[in-house]
Structures are given as C-alpha cells and as structure tokens.
A and B are shown apart, each in its own frame.
Chain A
C-alpha cells in the first residue's frame, strides 16, 4: 500500500482471516478466551458485591462480627452473639442468596425469551405472567383464606398457579395460529391486560389494609425470605439452566439466520421454542411467587450482557445470569441501605439502577450487537 490508510477493524480482520486456517483457529480461541475471562471477571465482581452486601445493613455489624457469625455455624470453637447470628443467617444471607438465584433465573429466562422471539423488547412478563401472578396473590389476600404460615403458602401457590395458567393460555392461543413469535407476543400482551384488569377489579373492592397488602406484594421484596424458599427456587433454576445452555447453538442459529435456514441445519425450532417458553415461564413464575414482581431484570440484563459479550448465546446466557445476579444483589443492598431503615421495594431500585447503566452502555458502545 502506498499510503497509510486507516482500515476499519472488520476489514483488517478479514484480510488476516484469508491468510490461513491456523490463524482462524488462533483468532477463535482468542475470542473464546476473552469471553471466558469476562465471565470469570463477572463472577468475581458478583462475589465482591455479595461480600459488601453481607456487611451492609442497619444492624451495626463490623467485618469481624460478620466473619465470626459466619464461622460460628461451622467451626465448633467459635462463638457469636445470638443477635449477630440471627441477623446474618436469618436476614442477610437469605436475601443475598435469593437475589443471586432470582437474578440468574429471571435474567436467563429473559435472554431465552428474547432469543426465541427474536425480539429485543420481550421479557418473561410479555406472556402475562406478572399480571396473572398479581391476580392470584390479590385473590388470596382479598379473601383472607388461610393465615400466618398457610396464608403465605397459599399466596405463593396461587400466584404460581395463575402465572402458569396465563402461560398455557398464551401458548395454546399462539399454537392455534401457528406458534410464531408474533402471535406469542400478541397473545401475551392481550392476556397481560386482561389479568391486569381483573386485578384492578379485585383491588377496587378491597378494604384499606387488604389493598395495601396487595400493592405491597406487587412491589416485590426479599424481606422474610426463608431458606426453604431459596431451596425451591434454586432447584428450579438448577434444573432449567442446563437445558437452556444446551440450546445455545440452536438459539444462535434461530436468531441470526432465521427459522427456515435453521430448520435446514437440523434445529427443531418448534421444540426449542416450546420448551424455552414453558421453562422460562416456569422459572419466572417460581421466582415471582416468592418475591413478588421484579420486572426489569429479565428485560435489561440480556441487553447489558449483549453489549459486553456479544450475541453468541454460549456466552450470552451465562453472562446474563451473572449480570442479573449482580443487578439483583446490588439493587437489594442499595434499597435497604440508602434510606435506612426504610427498605425500598426491589423492583423500584432495580429499575433506577438498571436504566442509567443500560443507557450508559448503549450510548458508549459503537456497535449494535442485536443482529450478530
């Protein structure tokens, strides 16, 4: 070349790729290594944030207090005051671990849903899950069936039931019309409004304190979460995540080259879509039945991750799990420390935290990763 010309990176890479197959392999492994490094960094960041979260709170526990209380449960010689132990093991750790597990579940559901519908505006709640769960919970709260322990169980159970009901109706409706992403979204939105209207009717007739309880449920909270509940959510997430990860390549195909070509390559698009839909709904319904409605994570965690690792689902799926967990734990910690002793509902804090972050990443990144 006579003059020094500034080539865009893409062209430069292409010139190198044409050189040899060995070079391609090297580039590919560098690509993979970079993504893996990012994932590891993400996990590390999550651990740091969790550590900060464990030490943060209204009860003035120093770092050594926290360590002692943690160790006291495992090492026979170490003693910790009952209050410290209660605060750490009954109040803080459950919140944080539920935040991690719920963040993973909601984020991966969102990523999967966006993948199978090829639509960046989709979240698990597009299926009407949040409205249906709110209706289920409101009905139980309104009619005061059960109380204390059993009341909460009924709220959880009914919220889950209605959420899955909504999913099945959406699924059935869309199958009538060929189960394409468009019909799925349309049916989901319609049902979302329908269940929302029903919930409003219930709220309209509710007396003061009951209405307060209903609205409070929809805000979402990690207060009062028990280890048993964490276990259930963790189990569901642990069962579904490997299935989602197995579909990484299929999703890559469906998103970037379309259904027809993907089918030609051997991807069973119908099955991927159905299974992903039901499992995403299952995870989301499970999480929000226990915590209340936390809406933003499933929508925005995939996008943030996409800007950071790109659209390859092999890295996007685990990446969004990590980002989702970081968002949840961070939001919960901020929500309970910023205006201590008031706890701000998590859905509100997640939105306030996630939106600026998302806008910042969107505005500072040069490339659009959606179609890649």
Chain B
C-alpha cells in the first residue's frame, strides 16, 4: 500500500506482510514519515483517541531523533481506510499525507464520503487521519 501511495517502505527486503521489528532498527533506518494504524475510525466523533496514540508515539525515546518526529511527519491513520476491502482507499490517503504539495486540490475524504453515502447508503462520519491534512 505504501508503494501504491508513492512512498518507499522501510523494509523493502522483507517479504512477510506483517512482522515484529526491532525498535532499534526502525530508529536506525530513520524513517521520514511514520504512520500508525488504528482499528477505529468510522464511529469516532472526535480526535482524542488518535491524539493519545499520536502523543504516546511521539514520546518514544528512541524515535525522538528520527526525521519523522523532528519534522512533524507522524500520522495516525484508521484501518477503516486501510484494511480489508477498504484497502483501495489507503493509497489515496497515503499520497495526500506524503506529497501534500502535489495534491493541494484533492481531498481523499470526499471520495470516501461519496463511497459511503452514494454506494453504501451510510451517513458520512468518522475520523480517519490525525493530525489532519
């Protein structure tokens, strides 16, 4: 999904989709952007939950000197746009996060809104990215 969104994943040489990785190594590879996935999204009414996750992520001592933290490129994203059948929305959100200057007139949340309201008949709600675009 990262590659689809135009990013470079931190561990291109590892093939399993999910694996536990040594925090020391993440800090050493010095990511430019860190995105943390959270299971909730659609039913959230405000950003407090994502904010708590964000704060606890920023305060990790070993990540303090990474480019991502020092340049404020840490995001919390909901799995509601990045998991299961909704994986198709992931690259959109990622592209907007990674290259905001290229997508100044594009808002992925509008696409999501159209999907929810027109195709699923559900009301538009939820928090999907923190901090917002």
B120 within 8 A of A: no
Q: Does A57 contact B22, Cβ atoms closer than 8 Å?
A: yes
Q: Does B20 contact A223, Cβ atoms closer than 8 Å?
A: yes
Q: Does B83 contact A149, Cβ atoms closer than 8 Å?
A: no
Which bucket holds chain A's interface residue count?
A: 20 to 34
Flag B53-97 by CB within 8 Å of A: 1 or 0 each: 101100011101100000000000001000110000000000000
Q: Does B39 contact A216, Cβ atoms closer than 8 Å?
A: no
Residues of B close to A341: CB separation below 8 A? 11, 14, 21-22, 25-26
User: Given that A144-B40, A209-B37 are known contacts, is A59 also in contact with B24, CB under 8 Å in the complex?
Assistant: yes
| Min C-beta distance of B66 to chain A, whole Å | 9
Closest to B57 in A: A148
Closest to B85 in A: A208
Q: Does A212 contact B18, Cβ atoms closer than 8 Å?
A: yes
Bound complex: CA of A7 vs CA of B111, how far in Å? 89
B125 within 8 A of A: no
Interface residues of A in 305-352 (CB under 8 A from B): 336, 340-345
A74 within 8 A of B: no
Bound complex: CA of A344 vs CA of B21, how far in Å? 9
Q: Does B56 contact A149, Cβ atoms closer than 8 Å?
A: yes
Per CB-CB distance, the 9 closest pairs between chain A and chain B, nearest first, are: A341-B25, A58-B25, A86-B61, A59-B24, A148-B52, A86-B62, A58-B24, A58-B22, A343-B20
Residues of A close to B19: CB separation below 8 A? 342-343
Bound complex: CA of A166 vs CA of B49, how far in Å? 32
Residues of A close to B27: CB separation below 8 A? 59, 83, 86-87
Q: Does A336 contact B22, Cβ atoms closer than 8 Å?
A: yes
Contact of A58 among B28, B37, B53, B64 (CB under 8 A): B28
| Min C-beta distance of B21 to chain A, whole Å | 5
| Min C-beta distance of A72 to chain B, whole Å | 14
A82 within 8 A of B: yes
Closest to B60 in A: A90
A91 within 8 A of B: yes
